[in-house]
Amino acid sequence: MSSSSAFNEEKGGSSSVGEPEYGHDPASGGIFSSDYKRHDDLKEMLDSNKDSLKLEAMKRIVAMIARGKNASDLFPAVVKNVACKNIEVKKLVYVYLVRYAEEQQDLALLSISTFQRGLKDPNQLIRASALRVLSSIRVTIIVPIMMLAIKEAASDMSPYVRKTAAHAIPKLYSLDPEQKDQLIEVIEKLLADKTTLVAGSVVMAFEEVCPERIDLIHKNYRKLCNLLIDVEEWGQVVIINMLTRYARTQFLNPNINESLLEEGGGGEKTFYGSDEDEDEDEEEKEKKAEAAAMAKRKPYVMDPDHRLLLRNTKPLLQSRNAAVVMAVAQLYFHLAPKAEVGVIAKALVRLLRSHSEVQYVVLQNVATMTIKRRGMFEPYLKSFYIRSTDPTQIKILKLEVLTNLANETNISTILREFQTYIKSMDKDFVAATIQAIGRCATNIGEVRDTCLNGLVQLLSNRDELVVAESVVVIKKLLQMQPEKHSDIIKHMAKLTDNIQVPMARASILWLIGEYCEHVPKIAPDVLRKMAKSFTNEEDIVKLQILNLAAKLYLTNSKQTKLLTQYVLNLAKYDQNYDIRDRARFIRQLIVPTEKSGALSKYAKKLFLALKPAPVLESPFKDRDHFQLGSLSHLLNAKAGGYQELPDWPESAPDPSVRNVEVPEWTKCSSREKRKEKKVEKPFYSDSEGESGPTESADSESDSASGSESGSGSEGSGSASESEESGEVSVSEEEEGEEEEKKTKKRELKKAVQESESEQSSEEEDRKHERKMKQRKSDSESESDEEEESESESSQSESDDSESEAEVRKKKKAAESKPPSKPVKKETKKEKKEMSLLDLDDFEPAPSPQVTPVNNLLSNSLVTDLEGLSLSEAVLSPATIAPSSALKSYELLHRITGEGLSVEYCFSRQPFSPDANMVAVQMQFTNSSTSDTKNLHMEDVKLQSGMRVKDFPEIESLPAGETATAVMGIDFCDSTQAANFQLCTHTRKFFVSIQPPVGELMRPVFLTENEFKKEQGQLMGMNEITEKLTLDAKCRNEHTIVQRVTTAANLSRVPCGSDRECSLSNVPVKCSLNVSLLVTSRVTIYRSTRSSGLGLAIQVLERVILRSLGTAGQKCTITKGKKPD
Amino acid sequence: MLVSLLMLCWSVDFFSSSKPTTVLITVPAEMINSLFLISHSGDIFLEKHWKSVISRSVCDYFLEAKEKAGDPENVAPVLQTPHHYLISIYRGKLFFLSVTQTEVPPLFVIEFLHRVADTFQDYFGDCSEVLIKENTVTVYELLEEMLDNGFPLATESNVLKEMIRPPTILRSVVNTLTGGSNVGGTLPTGQLSNVPWRRAGVKYTNNEAYFDVIEEIDAILDKSGTTVFAEIQGVIEACVKLTGMPDLTLSFMNPRLLDDVSFHPCVRFKRWESEHVLSFIPPDGNFRLMSYHVSSQNLVAIPVYVKQNISFLETGSCGRLDITIGPKQTMGKTVESLMVTIPMPKSVLSVNLTATQGTYTFDLTTKVVLWDVGKLNPQKLPNLRGSISIQTGAPKPEENPSINIDMKLQQLAISGLKVSRLDMYGEKYKPFKGVKYVTKAGKFQVRT
């Protein structure tokens, strides 16, 4: 019989401390045994020779501890057994010891020698366990012993013992903070440890002992990043959180340029402006002036170490551990460039299916994120829909998120959803829903009336709480535009007869008082009724009655003089002193007497002053200055021990601090040196040309990467590779590096890519020839070439009249990764393009060739038109020189593709087999040494509705050759990527194509009149006007049209006015007309009839506006206003 | 010597006073200081401290919040008291309440507490007050191993089981007779290996590996039966009993169905990224291999439709209820274990219904109608109809209750996911392999 039975019986009465425990032991003296005696009995058992008796006694003692009973008087008896041979007895003795050693310090010292012996044991597990218990005994006198033990264990052979040493560090620190310096030495030593077992624990110790010593991390940073995936999950959380802070001190803000350039870019942005932005506001002026120059001079280059961190944490989003996922999410939120933050949304939404406590925390964080990065969660809107079975606190948080996500496009769906929530049985939730409706109404002007009407309907709800909450919200809404809604005020005045909830009554009275001019007839009557019931009202209602009386007296003293006097008299004798005071105050102020104060003539001003409308904003606003995922963020208050997330540094600290001595495996040290000179490279080789974020994860991961020590044995693949195969792989590595360099540039200056890619194809050819002869020099010369080309292009830029604006634009485009437009590099090409546009301008209206009825260019028509060279030029000016005007994207890199590289561009030509498809032109280059055969695609994976027309199989692509093919994709108006496999006769590659929004469009040709007509139907909601101040260079029609058309596949409507130009296009289900007034305004008309493209259109609007917006200048959104 | 003795005396006094304020000053950061297990009724029946003892009176704040919230689900998981932070979870009618004094990622603690609860479930078959009380010593030993100084140490069930054997009836009998123990005689080596989730030296006579693909449909249907929101969540639960160190590869016919995945740490992420296969050295015994989400863009097949009419009459205190359930897209499988739950408005007094199939119950305190239908027969659709009576004088309820549905479809993964093959490397023998598919209703709700 074990002690377990005792608990069952014990459950009932707790006063008879553990009495039944002895029921089975006749020797214990039965029911008469006293506390003292009983412990005597246990002592006896502990003193016996039998392990079973000892065990039984220990079990009972531990059970007592578990229930919080005091067992401290047994200490001497228990401590004797610390050297017991029986392992379970021993463990239970340890449990006891750790619990009571603090209270019985001198006796606890008896046990120390046992542990000291254990520290020398040949078995690592015994060593570790001895250290663990020794360090857990909180006895100050043994601090030196502990210190010694920790130091010794830190250089133990066994990683497990070293891990235990790391665990012991914070214990010792908490016991004696004086030891800090010595402990830091140990931490420094352990941080250099290369095993995953130790990493998590030592970082934990670091965080608790010396989180401010960020310098200790430098040398270990890269190692930690690379080990991260193999560290146990709890360690991962600690490391990620620490690295977030580290990165904030060491790297530059990846969004810096954007926040500079976009400052005040939109009303919304400033409204939700973050702390950072505000800080920048102070220095805004000087910065802005410098912004353009700075952006040009110092383009933001992401530190490769920063990139390393982002890349190595990303797979952890797939962890089963919610804490790890959250840690990665906050890391991305705080550190990643805006365009990349999106990846965390899916993982966070996944956590919403976990336990309700996890949901609670995740939703709090999502709520904060939605305020700053709304777009991120918009696709997951429905995941936040509320079920009646959710706990109330979850419901309210989901509601918060839904409210934050609401915008013009989705508000109707959200309001419909809210409508069902109002019928919920959970009244707290209903009240919160009404509040949410109020917030949507204030934030989104378009639906204010709808919301107001809905709320007014709720006033007739049977549930009083609902009505009351509605009244309060309506009050706030009306305050924004009272003149329009006197009927609602009247309606509410009638409610005073029925509503009993004091807050609601008070709100109504305030409203009537405030807007008594709008309801001149009703107001005095309401006051009459209120005067009647005054004595029975709640205090807040009484105060509002006084308010109402005062206001009426001031505006309509003839009718209400007596009533007011009456009310004031009642209030004079009220029990509540607030009310008495208020009454006295009001009387003095409004009722003119001989000795009335000087203030009475200002009474009207005092009472009827214009009150600012209340701002309904999210309680999660501004919470993001706390590190997300932290306790402080959750409580919105700084918790003890919280480490502030530092601001980004102004300029990057020296990155070389993270360099580690040249690793042994590098054979050729001279090359290594050269490398370091060129660019600060991490020592691990990274053959993977990190592809841009537009590419899907599939194609990224496909490439054989050595840097990520993903699955143990595979380990640092490229390292061993380079050892084995000498020269060849080394040069490959070089190429990889080259590639990475390129990648970096691509990310920063997307625009440069075009010229680069063009050049790289030439390069590819040349290189191929040389490859046979001399590999090493090849890569060198290649880089030279690249530099040359760059300088060339920069020269041409400076020649170009628009160069400056161009560059700034590039920065901007690169930052937020909109579907970027091709940028003309060489003046020659620029001219060519210009002439094309000229042609476009002078072209007579092509209306006869268009089917104006449905605004869609019929398929056959296009094919017909293709014969006419002139009209072809009109149709798609880009087709003539697609390579120069169109931006090409990388589909498959030559390293990944084992010699096969593929690039694609959106040719903007109609895809003849299917008009709904977008034509994608692909260019295959075989730079390997053997032929590639049977190039075709397979296993197309698409989102529903999307379709793909395969390109015809390329039977053979000889080495060094290039081939092109065209495929068609119907993206179904979404920007979802099309994933498929590219197959050769030997291999398959996962690739994906993601369209920039601008490419989903198809231009349609309209005459001016047609355009005007179409435009006339799309007023109001469908109209977005932005006022832009364009800089001088940009102020001609050409430039504007050119910029817009490069950003999106639009075509120009010929029109007479030279001040205005219009562009039109029709994607499949939606029409978008852009009209541009050359000097100052851009208006985009869109049809919101299709919901699918709503988001895309919004993005497009941004793209177009951004293509026109220039650096350092403000764009103000004036939505809903028609152009003059 | 005298000095040190004095010091000792002082510190004894100092610590035994154990005021939270003093503790706050002397104790710097730690993850979890103490754990309290609190029963549904508010009885604190177990406490464990990993550092200085924190008085159980700290739980009063929690009990107060619990009282206020009413429903245990509505107790905020994180509470702030003057000197401590209380982070709690609610599992199996128990509160696991952890106390911490400093900044800690809340999810870290919550996730850990759930892991503790999972471990109890794993060891004792369930995570209930009775079982935990019965096994206090084992619980204590487990907690001791799982946390060191408030920081998680060993949370893998395979490692724990090596150190502390789960109790079985036979063993407890043997232990009482021989004085044997639950603590493993060997020291745990699992923590030392680079596959910490698998214990060493596993031996079976029958080598078998079974995988259950379990999919749940989360859906919200509106009044008219149209889908407001639907998605499929899936998990693959594995039961692997294989000798030695097998290296398994599980591949799917259509892995691209999976939109979002999360894995047991044993799965090699790189292989999944590049080839979309699951490659792993499995833990021994039962574990969740992966959970996934099927892209919500794909249309979700809804296996049943619900025709319902619940109305409350304007006059007189009564209402009517009429529910019929029929098969919709069942992919040729039978809908089993069909269960309908309807939480009625609070003003409902009683119901008088007749079910053509199965039985129904009405809980007077929670006002929940529970209709256990069983198998769905497409020829004879189950129907529940009758009248609802409302408290006299109470107004007609404004709201309509929503209907929650539970069901099961055997031999079917509703998303169409199929395992194509399981390969084993690293060991010579031939294991038994099996895959089972089940589809269930997750949070399946019909609005009325």
Q: Is the pLDDT of residue A814 over 50?
A: no
**Among the partner residues A136, A207, A326, nearest to B107 by beta-carbon distance:** A326
What is the average pLDDT across A32-37?
49
DSSP per-residue letters across A123-137: SHHHHHHHHHHHHHS
CB A938 within 8 Å of CB A980: yes
Compare all CA atoms of chain B with the CA of A423 and give the residue at the minimum distance.
B399
Q: Is the pLDDT of residue A31 over 80?
A: no
What is the average pLDDT across A1044-1062?
58
| Mutation target vs A (from B18, B60, B107; most A CBs, 10 A cutoff) | B107
Can you say how many angstroms the Cα of residue A1106 is from the centroid of all Cα atoms in its chain? 22
The complex's ipTM? 0.88
Q: Is A348 helix (H, G, I), strand (E, B) or coil?
A: helix
Q: Is the pLDDT of residue B110 over 60?
A: yes
Residues of B in contact with A159 (CB under 8 A): 192
Distance from CA of B110 to the nearest CA of A (A): 7
Choice between B291 and A953, residue whose per-residue pLDDT is larger? B291
CB B420 within 8 Å of CB B413: no
The strand order across the sheet containing A954-957 reads A954-957, A932-941, A978-983, A988-993
Bridge partners, residue A1028, by sequence: A1115
| Mutation target vs A (from B6, B23, B116, B136; most A CBs, 10 A cutoff) | B136
pLDDT, one tens digit per residue, over A84-136 is 888 788 888 888 888 888 888 888 888 888 888 888 888 888 888 889 888 88
Confidence of residue A253 (pLDDT cuts 50, 70, 90): confident
Could you give the CA distance from residue A211 to residue A665 in angstroms, rounded to a whole number? Answer: 33
E-assigned strands of B242-357? Answer: 247-252, 258-263, 277-280, 285-294, 304-312, 318-327, 335-343, 348-355
E-assigned strands of A849-961? Answer: 888-892, 900-910, 918-926, 932-941, 947-949, 954-957
What is the average pLDDT across A174-193?
90
Q: Determine if residue A975 is left, alpha or beta; phi over 0 gives left, psi from -120 to 50 gives alpha, anything else beta.
A: alpha
Q: What is the pLDDT of residue A52?
A: 83
Can you say how many angstroms the Cα of residue B422 is from the centroid of all Cα atoms in its chain? 28
Choice between A613 and B435, residue whose per-residue pLDDT is larger? B435
- Structure tokens given for A91: 């463990």
Could you give the CA distance from residue B241 to residue B434 in angstroms, rounded to a whole number? Answer: 12
Residues of B in contact with A701 (CB under 8 A): 270, 273-274
Q: Is A346 helix (H, G, I), strand (E, B) or coil?
A: helix
Q: Is the pLDDT of residue B382 over 70?
A: yes
Confidence of residue A384 (pLDDT cuts 50, 70, 90): very high
CB A1063 within 8 Å of CB A1123: no
Q: Using the structure block, give the residue that is written with the tokens 């496909």.
A: A702
Q: What is the pLDDT of residue A90?
A: 84
Which of A270-279, A316-325, B160-169 ranks highest by mean pLDDT? A316-325
Compare all CA atoms of chain A with the CA of B281 and give the residue at the minimum distance.
A711
pLDDT, one tens digit per residue, over A632-651 is 888 888 888 888 888 888 88
CB contact under 8 A, A315 and B102: no
Distance from CA of B381 to the nearest CA of A (A): 26
Residue A1008's CB is within 10 A of a number of other CB atoms, namely: 16
* DSSP H stretches of helix in A867-915: 869-875, 882-885
Q: Is A279 helix (H, G, I), strand (E, B) or coil?
A: helix
Q: Using the structure block, give the residue that is written with the tokens 């919280």.
A: A642
Choice between A907 and B101, residue whose per-residue pLDDT is larger? B101
Q: Is the pLDDT of residue A575 over 80?
A: yes
Q: What is the pLDDT of residue A150?
A: 92
- Structure tokens given for B251: 């591949």
- Structure tokens given for A739: 């590639």
E-assigned strands of B199-255? Answer: 208-221, 227-241, 247-252
Could you give the CA distance from residue A1005 to residue A1063 in angstroms, rounded to a whole number? Answer: 9
What is the average pLDDT across A18-22?
40
**Among the partner residues A51, A201, A423, nearest to B398 by beta-carbon distance:** A423
Going along chain B from its start, the domains and CATH numbers come out as: 3-178 (3.30.450.60), 208-300+414-442 (2.60.40.1170), 304-410 (2.60.40.1170)
Confidence of residue A696 (pLDDT cuts 50, 70, 90): very low
What is the average pLDDT across B241-252?
91
Q: What is the pLDDT of residue A326?
A: 94
CB contact under 8 A, B260 and A320: no
* A103-A107-A112 Cα angle (round to 5): 110
Residues of B in contact with A697 (CB under 8 A): 273
pLDDT, one tens digit per residue, over B196-236 is 788 777 888 889 999 999 999 988 888 888 888 888 889 99
Burial of A765 (0-12, 13-18, 19+ CB in 10 A): middle
Distance from CA of A235 to the nearest CA of B (A): 9
CA dihedral A869, A871, A873, A875 (to 10 degrees): -140
**Among the partner residues A8, A106, A327, nearest to B105 by beta-carbon distance:** A327
Could you give the CA distance from residue A655 to residue A124 in angstroms, rounded to a whole number? Answer: 39
Distance from CA of A585 to the nearest CA of B (A): 40
Which of these, B120, B89, B81, lies nearest to B106 by C-alpha position? B89
pLDDT, one tens digit per residue, over A1082-1104 is 555 554 444 444 444 555 566 56
What is the average pLDDT across A182-204?
90
What does DSSP say about strands B432-446 and B208-221: parallel, antiparallel, or unpaired? parallel
Compare all CA atoms of chain B with the CA of A420 and give the residue at the minimum distance.
B447
What is the average pLDDT across B15-38?
56
Choice between A1064 and B76, residue whose per-residue pLDDT is larger? B76
CB A716 within 8 Å of CB A684: yes
Could you give the CA distance from residue B172 to residue B135 in angstroms, rounded to a whole number? Answer: 11
Q: Using the structure block, give the residue that is written with the tokens 């007609």.
A: B396
Could you give the CA distance from residue A903 to residue A920 in angstroms, rounded to a whole number? Answer: 10
What is the average pLDDT across B96-109?
91
Longest Cα–Cα distance in chain A: 115
Could you give the CA distance from residue B209 to residue B56 in angstroms, rounded to a whole number? Answer: 46
Which of these, A327, A255, A369, A373, lies nearest to A648 by C-alpha position? A255
Q: What is the pLDDT of residue B19?
A: 36
Residues of B in contact with A349 (CB under 8 A): 260
Bridge partners, residue A243, by sequence: none
Q: What is the pLDDT of residue A1061?
A: 44
CB A1061 within 8 Å of CB A1052: yes
Distance from CA of B237 to the nearest CA of A (A): 13
Distinct helix (H) and strand (E) counts, chain A: 49, 15
Compare all CA atoms of chain A with the CA of B280 and give the residue at the minimum distance.
A711
Could you give the CA distance from residue A824 to residue A881 in angstroms, rounded to a whole number? Answer: 12
**Among the partner residues B44, B273, B297, nearest to A944 by beta-carbon distance:** B297
Could you give the CA distance from residue A652 to residue A302 in angstroms, rounded to a whole number? Answer: 10
**Range with the lowest mean pLDDT among A176-185, A578-587, A1039-1048, B207-216?**
A1039-1048
What is the average pLDDT across B312-339?
84
What is the average pLDDT across A767-785?
45
Distance from CA of B331 to the nearest CA of A (A): 20
CB A996 within 8 Å of CB A820: yes
- Structure tokens given for A134: 């020794």
pLDDT, one tens digit per residue, over B28-54 is 456 788 999 999 888 999 999 888 888
Q: What is the pLDDT of residue A832?
A: 39
**Among the partner residues A67, A201, A237, nearest to B46 by beta-carbon distance:** A67
Q: Using the structure block, give the residue that is written with the tokens 């969660």.
A: A377
**Range with the lowest mean pLDDT among A800-804, A920-924, B390-394?**
A800-804
Could you give the CA distance from residue B328 to residue B322 in angstroms, rounded to a whole number? Answer: 19
DSSP per-residue letters across A389-454: TS-HHHHHHHHHHHHHH--TTTHHHHHHHHHHHHT-S-HHHHHHHHHHHHHHHHH-GGGHHHHHHH
Q: Is A832 helix (H, G, I), strand (E, B) or coil?
A: helix
Can you say how many angstroms the Cα of residue B275 is from the centroid of all Cα atoms in its chain? 31
Portion of chain A with pLDDT greater than 90, in percent: 10
Residues of A in contact with B88 (CB under 8 A): 357
Residues of A in contact with B155 (CB under 8 A): 233-234
CB contact under 8 A, A103 and B293: no
Q: Determine if residue A629 is left, alpha or beta; phi over 0 gives left, psi from -120 to 50 gives alpha, anything else beta.
A: left
- Tell me the average pLDDT of chain A: 70
Which of these, A913, A977, A925, A915, lies nearest to A951 by C-alpha position? A913
- Structure tokens given for A529: 């009724």
**Range with the lowest mean pLDDT among A212-216, A918-922, B373-377?**
A918-922
Which of these, A620, A546, A622, lies nearest to A585 by C-alpha position? A546
Residues of B in contact with A941 (CB under 8 A): 256
Compare all CA atoms of chain B with the CA of A976 and give the residue at the minimum distance.
B297
What is the average pLDDT across A339-362?
90
What is the average pLDDT across B188-201?
69
What does DSSP say about strands B403-410 and B432-446: parallel, antiparallel, or unpaired? antiparallel
Residues of A in contact with B30 (CB under 8 A): 170, 174, 208
Could you give the CA distance from residue B287 to residue B197 in angstroms, rounded to a whole number? Answer: 10
CB contact under 8 A, B218 and A353: yes
**Among the partner residues B76, B176, B192, nearest to A1 by beta-carbon distance:** B176
**Range with the lowest mean pLDDT among A307-316, A559-568, A1000-1009?**
A1000-1009
Could you give the CA distance from residue A447 to residue A304 in angstroms, rounded to a whole number? Answer: 47
Could you give the CA distance from residue A250 to residue A308 in angstroms, rounded to a whole number? Answer: 13
| Mutation target vs B (from A69, A123, A357, A992; most B CBs, 10 A cutoff) | A357
Say which DSSP state A713 is in.
G
N residues, chain B: 448
Residues of B in contact with A361 (CB under 8 A): 77-78, 106-107, 110
Q: What is the pLDDT of residue B117?
A: 93
| Mutation target vs A (from B17, B37, B137, B169; most A CBs, 10 A cutoff) | B137
Choice between A614 and A704, residue whose per-residue pLDDT is larger? A614
pLDDT, one tens digit per residue, over A790-800 is 444 444 444 44
- Tell me the average pLDDT of chain B: 82
Confidence of residue A427 (pLDDT cuts 50, 70, 90): confident
Q: What is the pLDDT of residue A1108?
A: 58
Q: Is the pLDDT of residue A228 over 50?
A: yes
Distances (CA, A) of A425 to A314, A900, B367, B370, B444: 41, 62, 12, 18, 18
- Structure tokens given for A966: 């065209």
Q: What's the one-letter identity of residue B398?
A: E
Q: What's the one-letter identity of residue A834?
A: M
> For residue A100, how many C-alpha atoms fall within 13 Å in the half-sphere facing its CB?
28
Q: What is the pLDDT of residue A1030?
A: 59
Could you give the CA distance from residue A43 to residue A919 in angstroms, rounded to a whole number? Answer: 87
Q: What is the pLDDT of residue A881?
A: 35
Choice between B309 and A1104, residue whose per-residue pLDDT is larger? B309
Could you give the CA distance from residue A170 to residue B149 in angstroms, rounded to a whole number? Answer: 8
What is the average pLDDT across A863-887?
40
Which of these, A1108, A1110, A1115, A1123, lies nearest to A1041 by C-alpha position? A1108
Q: Which residues contact A986 (CB under 8 A, 6 or more apart)?
A: none
Portion of chain A with pLDDT greater than 70, in percent: 60
